[in-house]
Chains A and B, each alone.
Chain A
Amino acid sequence: MPETATAVRELTFGEAIREALAEELRRDPRVVLLGEDVAEAGTAFKVLKGLVEEFGKDRVIDTPISEPGFTGLAVGAAMTGMRPIVDIMFGDFMALIMDQVVNQAAKVHYMSGGKWKVPLVVRATMGATRRSAAQHSQSLHAWPSHVPGLKVVVPSTPHDAKGLLKSAIRDDNPVVFFEDKISYAKVKGPVPDGDYTIPLGVADVKREGRDITLVATSSMVQVALGAATMLEEVGISAEVVDPRTMWPLDEKTLVESVRKTSRAMVIDEGYFRYGVTGEIASVIAEGAFYDLDGPVRRLGARHVPVPFSPALEDATVPTERAVFELARKMCNKS
């Protein structure tokens, strides 16, 4: 990992993202931020607070409420010498920008026989349990992951968020970068001061273990780590692997971990069906079948639109308890 940074402080997930953006805006004049309420308001989540004061309204640009329009505009700007970053306030609005992302950004390089490039970053949020109901709570990172030509990043810690976002901005391809809304303020962690990058396509073992591999993404990494602590108390040693990027996917690290532990569970906040957990489970099954003690198990968001009532919403997202119970069963220690 090309880490040159020195001092390490505790930052929140949101602060780490802001720091990465500020450093990249400072480093490269071609970088601009476009989105709704990104300037003085610093977005609805205040993640960009302070950036407009340093970089001005020419580089931190408030757009009309036109997600397809400003995403499309950013595709064209990226092709012609800039490195735009667009801010999609709620990941649910991926549904609005899919044509620009899927039919334009993802295809330009290939369709032009490699002649045009699209160094674009789409930052979008994800994650439920904020009582925001069905149109402001989805985790749709499986969608762009399905499409060749895109890279998809799902950071889980402040350290990873900063290093991965810098790599995304410096990448010559369109990258969709998903930020968990709950993590913005809730997840804190050590972040090196200054410049460092984390390559896209390299998983990280967040906790080593022997008995079971918990593959977890984004918000679910904290859940898996919590479950691992609970499992330790009943004598089960869980390894937690965070792929960090959906594509490129570090299949090697996932498969090696499962070969060692012989059991695997995949936990993701996206919809359970036809999604991330299914893809990763099959990668593991294909790569580690003869080392497995049993089928790969999966936990994802319940296959319903995210409900509003806390009583209902909390039943849709995998919890530490659910991971713990399932893992214990898989290890025959129930």
Chain B
Amino acid sequence: MGDTYGSRRLKPARYRCGIVDQPGGRLTPRFGSLCMTIATRQTAAGLDVDKLLRMYRQMTAIRLFEERVNDLYTRALMPGLAHLYIGEEAVAVGICEALRPDDYITSTHRGHGHCLAKGAAPRLMFAELLGKEAGYCKGKGGSMHIADPATGNLGANAIVAGGAGIATGAAFSSKYLGTGRMAVCFFGEGALGQGVLYETMNMAQLWKLPVLYACENNLYNEYTHYSETTAGDMLARPAAFGIAAESVDGQNVRAVHTAASAMVERARRGDGPGFLLLNTYRYRGHHVGDVAREYYRSKQEEQRWMTERDPIALHGEWLVAEGLADRATLDRIHAEVAAEMDAAVEFALNAPYPDPGRVDEDVYA
């Protein structure tokens, strides 16, 4: 897949190669604590260099966030379990980079990556994961239910395909109220087994709703390979409704972004929903406690994906090869993100638990 970067071509380049600096720095406020001031620069092919670097940073942020979640779990500092997104970072980042801050997402049990990519602050996420009052949901939601109106996050959902109705409904209200907002429904390929997904895709296409169904095929529904649960061709399912559907290399953040941008643009135009099948892989277990995995997949398979198909390494190598960043820049990004994540963990560990007296609050609005 070439780096056409969506159908909207950016300004023509002035030089055949290298970076063009645009006058006037631009703020990127949607990245919360990852926010930084950078100038808008473009490559010869018209690619937004800042965006390419930001995608690298965001994928790194998700990776380092998740590594710390695993660490908190193994040190018995985190209540319950968590489903790590490590390996799938390019999917959430490539798609969320195609969205406006006021666009909506619904997420899943494996939701940390989606929430971060949509702009969640790591320290409020960690606080929620540890059940603290400062967390996104005041400790009432936990890992599988991060929700945040400020970043358009309608909520991670622990019911497989639970976001299908909500995302489609958000797209419905976007159309009805004329807000122009897009809704992205993230789900794993396991959700293809749920009827409600097809019911809502049918209505989305009938009513031309601005929703993107983002199916993350990480090959396994929990502990079972998808081929044992999924008949026929996955893309034939959205195609049956006449929904624009495409299969994408989910380890290539630029390919994901290009495909998502095109889908978002046509959906916003009123041309109806889109469906992306994102081929990816989760490196870790179904959840943090799933460590003995050889009964359903081999160590060699895991190793192959990690060494040959890692989305962060691949994007980093591409940035270096294109001359858009050097190793030192990437290392600096990594170090900055690591420091930020450590501070976020520290914040969450030190944050107080909610007063037990608040247990009855928020049942009713």
Contact = CB atoms under 8 A, between A and B. Distances in A.
Interface in B117-149: 135-141, 145, 147-149
B167 interface: yes
B188 to A, nearest CB: 17
Given A111-B147, A112-B137, A113-B136, A77 B364 contact: no
Interface string A113-144: 11111110000000000000000000000000
Contacts of A111: 137, 140-141, 145, 147, 155
A5 interface: no
A187 interface: no
Interface in B145-162: 145, 147-149, 154-155, 157, 159, 162
A77 B141 contact: no
Contacts of A294: none
Interface of B: 104, 106, 135-141, 145, 147-149, 154-155, 157, 159, 162, 164-174, 176-177, 179, 181, 183, 195-196, 198-200, 202-203, 206, 361-365
Contacts of A149: 363-364
A112 B166 contact: no
Given A115-B147, A115-B148, A73 B203 contact: yes
B203 A70 contact: yes
Nearest to A76: B169
Contacts of A82: 172-173, 176-177
B138 A114 contact: yes
Contacts of B195: 68
B154 A113 contact: no
18 contacts: A64-B206, A69-B168, A69-B199, A71-B165, A72-B199, A73-B169, A76-B154, A79-B166, A80-B169, A84-B169, A99-B196, A103-B159, A104-B162, A111-B145, A113-B138, A113-B140, A116-B154, A119-B365
Contacts of B162: 99, 103-104
A66 interface: yes
A295 interface: no
A130 to B, nearest CB: 28
Given A76-B172, A111-B141, A69 B363 contact: no
A63 B172 CA distance: 13
Most buried by A among B138, B202, B365: B365
A77 B137 contact: no
A72 B362 contact: no
A151 B362 CA distance: 14
Given A113-B141, A115-B148, A75 B166 contact: yes
Chain A: number of interface residues, binned into ranges: 35 or more
A300 B365 CA distance: 32
B216 to A, nearest CB: 20
Nearest to A106: B363
A56 interface: no
Given A66-B202, A69-B203, A81 B168 contact: no
A288 to B, nearest CB: 25
A77 B172 contact: yes
Contacts of B170: 76-77, 79-80
Given A30-B177, A72-B165, 19 more contacts: A66-B199, A69-B196, A72-B164, A73-B203, A74-B169, A75-B165, A76-B183, A77-B173, A77-B176, A80-B104, A80-B173, A81-B177, A104-B159, A104-B166, A108-B147, A114-B138, A114-B365, A115-B136, A115-B148
Contacts of A72: 164-166, 168-169, 196, 199-200
A115 B169 contact: no
Contacts of B135: 113
A72 B164 CA distance: 7
B169 A77 contact: yes
Nearest to A65: B199
A173 interface: yes
Contacts of B139: 113
Given A66-B202, A68-B196, A79 B169 contact: yes
Interface string A20-49: 000000000010100000000000000000
A151 B363 CA distance: 11
Most buried by A among B148, B168, B173: B173
Most buried by B among A30, A68, A113, A117: A113
